[in-house]
């Protein structure tokens, strides 16, 4: 998780404490997950004790956990992916992914045979 790299060592515990306080505050003052998310993000932006990197850490951590919870418990609104066009994905990326998968199967097949 890349958001963990945003904190410096000497302020980690302070930022985690502030994060937990804002999370508790958002939980106590809102109803529903979406409104809690909006309120939490407003608290982060309004917090003057945190640097920009620390605010970014709090935002990214919250959104990561929010989306993970959505995925695990199948919550939230389904995303519409029918508008994706074939030309949106460059062909060299598709070829690279296919080559990577092919090599992975070759390696797995070689390991299974031994």
Structurally, the chain folds into a number of domains equal to 1
- On whether residue 107 sits in a domain, the answer given is no
Quick: pLDDT tens for 9-22. Answer: 888 999 999 999 99
- On whether residue 31 sits in a domain, the answer given is yes
Q: Residue 8: pLDDT above 50?
A: yes
- On whether residue 94 sits in a domain, the answer given is no
Q: Which of 51, 22, 49 is nearest to 37 (CA)?
A: 22
Q: Which domain holds residue 61?
A: 2-73
- On whether residue 55 sits in a domain, the answer given is yes
- On whether residue 64 sits in a domain, the answer given is yes
CA of 110: how far to CAs of 6, 91, 114, in Å? 40, 29, 7
Quick: pLDDT tens for 47-94. Answer: 999 999 999 999 999 998 888 888 878 777 666 656 555 555 566 666
CA 55 – CA 47 distance, rounded (Å): 8
For residue 96, what pLDDT is reported?
Answer: 72
Instruction: Decide: helix, strand or coil at residue 87.
Output: helix
**Residue ranges of E strands in the chain:** none
């Amino acid at each position: 998780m890349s958001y963990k790299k945003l904190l410096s060592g000497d302020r980690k515990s302070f930022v985690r404490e502030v994060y937990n306080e804002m999370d508790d505050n958002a939980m106590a003052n809102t109803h529903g997950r979406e409104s809690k998310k909006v309120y939490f993000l407003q608290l982060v932006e309004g917090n003057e004790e945190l640097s920009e990197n620390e605010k970014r850490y709090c935002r990214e951590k919250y959104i990561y956990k929010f989306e993970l919870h959505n995925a695990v418990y199948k919550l939230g609104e389904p995303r519409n992916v029918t508008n994706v066009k074939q030309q949106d994905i460059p062909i060299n990326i598709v070829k690279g992914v296919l080559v990577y998968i092919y090599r992975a199967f070759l390696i797995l097949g070689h390991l299974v045979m031994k």
